[in-house]
Chain A
């Protein structure tokens, strides 16, 4: 674990969640990568913490080693990825939404067409985080599973 084809794995990680201003630049980057202006396909969500006076945060897949979403997928569209997280095969997906329900931290989102949007840890969004909340880094399995770094 922690290695993909013998190489160290890279994942999207939180550097300092308390710095999040809720701008959602990450969310827009995610859909833009797929050729969209908007957020329909975004696998990351920026939210306020019951109102902006309490601050903001981002929600995305934290690359579980035993992903519940993959365990409940009836068609094998959501498959565990070596080193943590999932690989999503859209063509196998029937849009049942089991994965969305199963995710303990509510980090899988429903697109307008009913299919899930999930972070694939490509790191594209990290370059657009202007406040040092997100980074794309090589991780040790133990290290990236810790919330406070």
Chain B
């Protein structure tokens, strides 16, 4: 079992290791353990940028032991929502942490000067990063660090770009070029601590007692992953396959959700993107290789026969946020903006929603070009690429505000009715019905991945009572607390069903039955909700933007009273916690 917790104190440049078997025995790992470590190490009321603000990276018993258990959970105070931040990333993060022998890493304090942290198995080094500070392209940062450090193939390089340094509240942390702790602003928290990057090198193993049982269940999972249809969607076109069907069913948010079908959807579809795939890569210890990388070949501005070729990974969410939401007419336009977002290491989803709101606000005359500097208009990729730069550099008050998210921007400039945020977090790419929007509102991360409301919308014909829908979403989310405590990729939820999870846990030393797992999911769910409450979460104040009720969904237009009844019911549940 991975039971060691590495503590890193940036204020005093110290580190120490604790054996927390108690914690891992009671809360499994990942999300479960991270909630408790947040609780132990930080006053829930402190500001995200406070010295006391804590970041936890946690893995679980299945990481580095089984395929598709490739995720790390990051937990922190979100500077975007002011509440609990939780974000998951793949790449080599989880295998490096697990192979270094840790179940979790807790980072506290604040460095006086820029540093990057190197965790080389059992040693930690604080490296001078003064020269790296100011390098805004996160890819360049990673290349320099990769040259400086050892551990090739066994390391993860988690770093921030210009967005994190400038404390943009939706700055992400990028790892292995193509994976991100994307949402809720972990990049800004690292930036506030003057940490440019965290390198984790792990070359180790856990001894397994029952080798035979281990190999048997491993092979079963491997076969499911490679021979059944369980991972087919991700293995083939990837999540981008959603563009066309969502467009046909009128569930695709277009131009700040003024519409849900788009004449250029075909141009941005998974099928069209696949034509320019340059290669595929995988997270460590995952055979699926769902990372789709597109090539964008761009001529030099002033020289004929010279080209630069950019390799950019895409998924459905960035296509939605920086493509359809911004009215892009071609995949090249979308990729040009994505390139900027990736270089500066911003959350693609929040950036797209912020820019879509700003465009509509400009159209309506709520703000003028004095604020936006560049003329934002749906479909104009050059203007958006410029605007992304302004979000980073914040040359005027408007961009200072926009760098705090769409909720804040609408508070200052108006236009709340079309500011698409739930619980302060910008909307994901599914306008599929009640379950999606209730799901974003009541999800413990306000994310579409919490409880899969979008998926429920696409499966049901007629809605049950709002209370029943809330119960169903909560139940799903409780199970997902288990998945994110193990920590497996949510894409593999079709493989890691309760019986498989129980059998996989046995060889790594954990005996639990399906009923026990279910109860554990509930327990983690409510413990997290309690932490959110202590951080100031108030379910009775959840705001649902008017726009949601104005635009057609696959289930027709939505009715506010149904939504409100659902949210009231959820508020009662929270009240009792």
Contact = CB atoms under 8 A, between A and B. Distances in A.
Contact of A35 (B143, B207, B286, B291): B207
A25 interface: yes
B67 interface: yes
A112 B121 contact: yes
A123 interface: no
B229 to A, nearest CB: 15
Contact of B99 (A22, A38, A53): A38
A38 B281 contact: no
Nearest to A45: B153
A143 B153 CA distance: 28
Contacts of A24: 95, 153, 282, 284-285
B153 A51 contact: no
A22 B206 CA distance: 22
Contacts, number: 113
A47 B152 CA distance: 7
B139 interface: yes
Interface string B293-318: 10000000000000000010000000
Given A21-B281, A38-B64, A38-B205, A32 B286 contact: no
Name which of A23, A32, A56, A112 has the most chain B CB atoms within 10 A of its CB.
Answer: A23
A114 B66 CA distance: 26
Interface in B98-113: 98-99
A31 B142 contact: no
B177 A23 contact: no
A25 B214 CA distance: 15
Nearest to A18: B279
B508 A23 contact: no
Contact of B142 (A41, A51, A111, A130): A51
Contacts of B41: none
Contact of A23 (B64, B205, B286): B286
Nearest to A41: B205
A74 interface: no
A25 B287 contact: yes
A127 to B, nearest CB: 9
Contact of B222 (A27, A36, A128): A128
Contacts of B211: 35
Contacts of B154: 39, 45
A53 B204 contact: no
Contact of B153 (A28, A37, A47, A53): A47
Contact of B282 (A22, A39, A47, A128): A22
A52 B176 contact: yes
Nearest to B212: A35
A24 to B, nearest CB: 5
B214 A32 contact: yes
B167 interface: no
A46 interface: yes
Interface residues of B, number: 44
B276 interface: no
B573 interface: no
B141 to A, nearest CB: 11
A98 interface: no
A53 B311 contact: yes
Interface string A51-81: 1110110010000000000000000000000
A89 interface: no
Contacts of A38: 64-65, 98-99, 204-206
Interface string B266-290: 0000000000000111111111010
Interface string B209-252: 00100110010001000100000000000000000000000000
A109 B204 CA distance: 12
A51 B146 contact: yes
A36 B207 contact: yes
A53 B287 contact: no
A22 B203 contact: no
A131 interface: yes
Contacts of A28: 64, 67, 285
Contact of B284 (A23, A41, A51, A131): A23
A36 B206 contact: yes
B178 interface: yes
B374 interface: no
Contacts of B208: 35-37
A51 B177 contact: yes
Contacts of A32: 214-215, 218
B205 A37 contact: yes
Contacts of B65: 37-38
Contact of A25 (B64, B98, B146, B285): B285
Given A51-B139, A52-B176, A36 B285 contact: no
A55 B279 contact: yes
Nearest to B122: A112
A40 B203 contact: yes
A124 to B, nearest CB: 10
A50 interface: yes
Interface string A12-23: 000000000111
A37 B203 contact: no
B411 to A, nearest CB: 39
Contacts of A55: 279, 281
Closest 10 CB pairs of A and B: A38-B205, A36-B205, A23-B282, A37-B65, A40-B205, A130-B287, A47-B153, A53-B311, A21-B289, A35-B211
Given A38-B204, A39-B205, A128-B222, 16 more contacts: A23-B284, A23-B289, A24-B95, A24-B153, A28-B285, A32-B214, A36-B207, A36-B208, A37-B65, A38-B205, A40-B205, A46-B284, A48-B153, A52-B281, A55-B281, A112-B205
16 contacts: A22-B281, A23-B284, A23-B285, A24-B282, A28-B64, A39-B95, A40-B203, A40-B204, A45-B152, A47-B152, A51-B146, A52-B176, A56-B281, A110-B203, A112-B121, A131-B287
Interface of B: 64-67, 95, 98-99, 121, 139, 142-143, 146, 152-154, 176-178, 203-208, 211, 214-215, 218, 222, 226, 279-287, 289, 291, 293, 311, 508
